[in-house]
Structure 1
């Protein structure tokens, strides 16, 4: 559960979501952090479009426009209802129109086939409960990470170095409520955490030189706890375009995958040594 002593990222005022100053992005003090858009989209889809007996197996979030710290609204639309599938979309609206959107697929839970298929193994990273408090990421005069974060170097040791060749695995735990007075659901936690697949998968020796354009989560189940693990397992890039992928974990094992696409922004790289 998010810490009630920490301020939420948004206050609900009628149908509008009012962002707090700490909802800012790492790129600019007056820009909303893109991960929060994913959380708002997941929240709206779960509240308005969830179907009993169905599971959110896919969430695609398109981050196609930056937003200032302005009032936002989220609308959802049912696209398809079937016996074994439900498809729904959502859009985040600012004062000047859409700034992000999502599409979701829910599949009906049923008996699982018994055939053997090679599966992604659990990782060997220690659980957060054994690691102690998350290391401080405070940097004087710079944006600080507003969630608990344990990053690991290639030897499995906790590090605060953001450079991509040294940091490819991480545990993340949100500590702020997304909307004041609302506990974070497992699905909303994933909507928030998935944006971090971008720095893990496409960050490099100069830090993060790409802005995330989208991400797609594919989920076999929802996480069983507050901690979300991400393990980068693929990257390709050329002509200012980067694509990457991560395995998503919880403390019980792999829960799915996250794929991302990003566009170069080298003049404002994050985590430069």
Structure 2
């Protein structure tokens, strides 16, 4: 079975069960939403002759719970220049905007001279399970101690977390770009910054992805950089990396949702990739 977030219905996208959130049975998760918005923005800038521009920043506002219903996408190319492009995208259901994104595209060039301070964030050795092909999708690996594993219950703790993802295709019959894959993964920042000993108690209100280069393929990792919270509002940041090294950051702002905590140890046994809960928060 092809594991994808959406099926095409003309110009609309219809979410599959893989896009269903654990917060509510009739709600899409942010991973699918973010990936679909990124896809629409990328298609819009290419249509304007901006194929040489690369996505450098992707910000999504999740201000309404998107339903498990057909989605349309309204795009506006705010600016398309020689060195910069900016696209606004809205996800629309039943004539109502459910989420929106702003995507910045930049023209790659030569690195300037001189040296700049860079934070040193050591990355752990990665799981030796490379992706076999476009249909090879598996539950993510987590690291919150000494060893990677796909045992979700073992990582429901207050330790520093890292996640290694093999991202599903966003739309059936299409090969997702590496940017679309990274945009989808960005919403999983909550799983390395907001997942603690009592489960995930925060629901994302937004997510921002920044990229200094494009990922290599669909294998993408996130490792927590920071988490702060007060009065039910949390901010979490993570480093984005792939097998070639670090490539960007993510940040999420989230609200307390403790009355509907997602307890991964209770909803998933780690055996079926199509039931991967980390793409369903």
Q: Which runs of 5+ in 2 are unaligned?
A: 266-281
Q: CA deviation at 1:71?
A: 0.7
Q: Tell me the alpha carbon deviations over residues 117-143 of structure 1, each in whole angstroms, 9 at most, x when there is no partner.
A: 23344633222325999xxxxxxxxxx
Q: 2:159 aligns with which of 149, 155, 166?
A: 166
Structure 1 residues 162 and 92: alpha-carbon distance in aligned structure 2, compared to 1, 3 A threshold: farther
Q: Secondary structure at the match of 2:91?
A: strand
Aligned to 1:44: 40
Q: Who is 1:177 aligned against?
A: 169
The 3 A distance-change label for structure 1 pair 79 and 164 is farther
Q: CA deviation at 1:37?
A: 0.6
1:148-181 deviations in Å (ceiling 9; x for gaps): 300002334435234251351110112x322110
Match of 2:201 in 1: 209
Distance between the aligned counterparts of 2:28 and 2:129, measured in 1? Answer: 33
Query: 2:123 is matched with which residue?
Result: 124
What SS class does the counterpart of residue 148 from structure 1 fall into?
coil
Residues 173 and 44 from structure 1, CA distance in 2 versus in 1: closer, same or farther, beyond 3 angstroms? Answer: same
Aligned partners of 1:97 and 1:178: how far apart in 2? 22
| C-alpha distance in structure 2 between counterparts of 1:272 and 1:14, whole Å | 35
Distance 2:20 2:71 in 1: 14
Q: SS at 2:263's partner residue?
A: coil
Give the match for residue 19 of structure 2: 23
Aligned Cα RMSD in Å? Answer: 2.2
- 1:140 matched residue in structure 2: none
Displacement after TM superposition at 1:272 (Å) = 6.5
Return the alpha-carbon distance in structure 2 between the equivalents of residues 79 and 132 of structure 1: 36
Is contact 1:44-1:76 (8 Å) kept? Answer: yes
Unaligned runs of 5+ in 1: 134-145
Deviations 1:57-107 (A, max 9, x none): 100011111122111111110112334211111010001411110001111
Aligned mates of 1:62, 1:120 — CA distance in 2? 28
- 3-state secondary structure, aligned to 2:227: strand
Instruction: Tell me if 1:11 matches 2:7.
Output: yes
Cα separation, partners in 2 of 1:207 and 1:7, compared to 1, 3 Å: closer
Residue 29 (structure 2) pairs with residue 33 (structure 1): yes
- How many pairs does the alignment contain? 256
Q: Is the contact between residue 4 and residue 16 of structure 2 (CA under 8 Å) also seen in structure 1?
A: yes
Q: How does 1:221-232 map to 2 (within 5 A)?
A: 221-232=213-224
Cross-structure match for 2:187: 195
